[in-house]
Amino acid sequence: MALRNIVVEGDPILRKVCRPVDKVDDRIRMILDDMIDTMHDAMGVGLAAPQIGMMRRMFVAEPEEGEIYCFVNPEIVYVDGEQECVEGCLSVPGYQGVVIRPEKIRIKGLDYNGEEQEYEFEGFHANVMCHEFDHLEGVLYIDKANNVVKIEE
C-alpha cells in the first residue's frame, strides 16, 4: 500500500469522463487500498480515482469513521428530495462551498470483492456519494456551488 499524489484543480484529468473498470482484480484492489490510505492521510471523507490520476470509474468513501465503501462502476439509480451541503474537496484545497444535492439516493456498483452491491443513503452519506460520483463525470463541486469561499491559506 502506498500514498498517491492528489491531483488538484487546473489539471485536465479532473475534467474527463472516466472509463468503466473491466474487472475488479488484484491490481484494482491495490489501487483501492492506496486510495483508502491516501484519503485517510489527507483526512478526507472520499476520494475518486481521477483524483489520483486514474481515469477509471471508482471511488472510496468513509462518511463515518470506520465505515468504508468502495464503489467500482457505480450508478446512481434513484434520487429524492434536496439538501444543502457544505462541501470541500481534496482537489480544491482551502475552499468550501454550498451545493444543493439530493437528500436521498440509491446507488449500485461493484464492491472491493467485485460483488454487486446496492445501498440507499441519505443526508451526509448521500452528499458524499454524489460528490464522489460527480468526479467520475469530470464534475467538481465548485461547478455547482453558488458561493465558494476561501477557508485557509
**Contact residues: Zn ion, CB under 5 A:** 89
Q: For this structure, is 132 an active site residue?
A: yes
Least distance from Zn ion to the Cβ atom of residue 48, Å: 7
By beta-carbon proximity to Zn ion, the closer residue of 28 and 128 is 128
**Does residue 79 sit in helix, strand or coil?**
strand
The CA–CA distances, whole Å, from 10 to 51, 122, 143 equal: 12, 31, 13
By beta-carbon proximity to Zn ion, the closer residue of 16 and 27 is 16
Least distance from Zn ion to the Cβ atom of residue 25, Å: 26
CA 106 – CA 146 distance, rounded (Å): 25
Least distance from Zn ion to the Cβ atom of residue 134, Å: 8
**Residue among 67, 75, 132, 137 flagged as catalytic:** 132
Q: What residues contact 132, with CB distance under 8 A and at least 6 apart?
A: 46, 47, 48, 59, 60, 61, 71
By beta-carbon proximity to Zn ion, the closer residue of 11 and 25 is 11
Residue of closest CB approach to Zn ion: 89
All cell numbers assigned to 148: 465558494
Q: What residues are annotated to the active site?
A: 132
